[in-house]
């Protein structure tokens, strides 16, 4: 049975791959899982600069987005989701400053989305961070996607809790059938 098999891959300091399959180590290793775990820690020790750099970036990103979320959420207009699409800021300007602004804004949105996906597996506000990233980016259908996320009871509760703590009114959401795409 393929789904019942468990594989653990471990790189040693020579980048040789050892793996366990249901407790049996292959490629010349021992059948003792303690040695496999020791091999994993040995790999981490040998590649410690990379391991610590990845850990530091993860920690900084986690704290940075958690610190920035209340600030960003408080700045969302309470009627953002019920405004007609035509009343949103105009697009179409091709000035270099506007293009640079759009590039930076979309790159920041991508960073927020990546950080949010990472935070789904580590401590942090993953869903809210992904939502902010989506709202920062420019793409067709972003309003519908943001509404699908924000309509989740836990998400809207968390967002409105942050807004109330920032002395801002709760977000107003449209009825489910009256949403238009952005």
18-40: per-residue pLDDT in tens?
Answer: 444 445 545 554 445 667 677 77
Let me know whether 65 and 26 are in one domain: no
In a domain, 51, yes or no: no
In a domain, 36, yes or no: yes
pTM of the model: 0.55
Q: What are phi and psi of 91, to 5 degrees?
A: -110, 170
What is the DSSP pairing of strand 17-21 with strand 24-26? antiparallel
Over the stretch 77-87, which tens digit does the pLDDT of each residue have?
888 888 876 54
Could you tell me which of 71, 61, 91, 53 has the C-alpha nearest to residue 163? 71
Q: Please tell me which residue, 98 or 36, carries the higher pLDDT value.
A: 98
Arithmetic mean of pLDDT, 120-133: 80
Structural domain of 99: 57-178
CB-CB neighbours of 70 under 10 Å = 17
- Determine contact, residues 2/18, Cβ cutoff 8 Å: no
Q: Burial of 119 by CB count in 10 Å (0-12 exposed, 13-18 middle, 19+ buried)?
A: buried
End-to-end C-alpha distance for the chain, whole angstroms: 47
Distance CA 177, CA 109 (A): 27
When divided into structural domains, the chain yields a total of: 2
Let me know whether 93 and 165 are in one domain: yes
Let me know whether 99 and 118 are in one domain: yes
């Amino acid at each position: 049975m393929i789904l019942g098999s468990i594989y653990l891959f471990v790189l040693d300091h020579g980048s040789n791959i050892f793996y366990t399959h249901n407790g049996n180590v292959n490629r010349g290793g021992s059948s003792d899982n303690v040695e496999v775990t020791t091999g994993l820690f040995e790999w981490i020790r040998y590649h410690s600069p990379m391991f610590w750099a990845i850990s530091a970036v993860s920690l900084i990103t986690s704290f940075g987005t958690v610190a920035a979320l209340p600030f960003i959420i408080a700045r969302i207009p309470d009627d953002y989701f019920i405004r007609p699409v035509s009343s949103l800021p105009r697009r179409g300007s091709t000035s270099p400053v506007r293009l640079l602004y759009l590039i930076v804004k979309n790159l920041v949105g991508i960073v927020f989305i990546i950080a949010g996906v990472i935070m789904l597996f580590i401590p942090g506000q993953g869903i809210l961070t992904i939502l902010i990233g989506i709202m920062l980016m420019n793409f067709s259908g972003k309003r519908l996607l943001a509404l699908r996320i924000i309509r989740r009871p836990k998400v809207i509760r968390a967002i409105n809790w942050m807004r109330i703590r920032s002395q801002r009114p709760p977000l107003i959401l449209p009825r489910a059938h009256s949403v238009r795409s952005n």
